Structure 1
Amino acid sequence: MKSDHAHDFRASQWVLALEIPKALVPLTGGTTGRRLPGWMPAHEGIGALLAQFLTQLISDTTSYQPTDGARLGTVLIDLCTALLAQSIDAERALSTETHRRTLTLRLQRFFLEHLHEPQLTPSAVAAAHHISISHLHRLFQCEQATVAAWIRRRRLEAARRDLTDPALRTTPIHTIATRWGFPRAAGTSAKV
């Protein structure tokens, strides 16, 4: 898979090789024996999700517990399988669970990219991804938080990072709040 560095796509290129036993790839119908393309893009779609996931894993291993390994491995295999299925046009062969986890990761990435938008709501996200609001909420049942709570937590984490950043000490609090989707003081307690 070809992976581009997140900051400057033209300046540097990374190549990442993964080896996953076929038995762990949840594709059906003999699709794992097909010839793969030489390079798989890592700058958009599922390839970008996989690259972002791997970059995060590699850059900060201290924040993970030993018990996280199995769960992170499952996510890695699901993302690799989804990218593989997409590259050989075999997405129908993916398991329901792989579809669910990949869509959940895609939604979470969308949330993070749009945290600054006050109109980021479950209904807007569902409409943007052509799924029902109830399906969106079912996807997040495994995340141990409602969709609104997940968004609110990420916004608060981002605002906290900015508030504790010495480089931003002269930035007014309301500016930081607005930057992370809280357009007025009451926004921190309002429903997302």
Structure 2
Amino acid sequence: MISLYRTGDSILHRAPAGWKLLGLAVSALIISLARPGTGWTLLLLGVASLVVALGAGAGARGVALAWWRLRWVIVVLGGALVVFVSASAAVQSTGRVVTLLLLAEAVTRTTRTSDMLDVLRRLFRPLRAFGVDPETPALAVSLTITMVPVLAGLLEQVRDAQRARGVRLGVRSAVPLLVLAMKHADDVGDALSARGLGR
């Protein structure tokens, strides 16, 4: 598995992986079930940005970069909601999604993959009673958490390459992104096979 972990000495870096995953799960549950107004949504976004900046030790530049990676999610999702629903719904729904993505990125950037898998294995250990290997759902959850930052990084690679060649960005960007995503999937498959889980 490709790790997104970045070394550091921030609060989140020092926090146990289990508490970070629990916090992410509880945050996702609260944000998904709540129906906050526009002001509350903006507050959530501010808190998520603060977690990335201070908790993950990313600073203002790291926060700006995290928002920049999510710009297409904001533009596409927010734009669609403005057109088909309302501006208020666009702010609220897009804000919830972006908040969760920022928090997920903060967790993946401050948690070693091995630590995350250890916690998830312990969490899924009771499934052995039903004949399920805890390693399989643990890897599935871990891959799900890390996939959004991975795709954002791949998209940034595509955009940098196209800018370097003077190619105008557009729908054609989806082709090289798909190629890189498939290559990433192959790398993950090889890693799973090496762990004896690709059979």
Q: What TM-score bracket applies, with the shorter chain setting the length?
A: 0.3 to 0.5
Q: Which is bigger in relative contact order (C-alpha 8 A, separation at least 6)?
A: 2
Task: Please report the TM-score for the alignment, with normalisation by the length of structure 1.
Answer: 0.34
TM-score when normalising by structure 2? 0.33
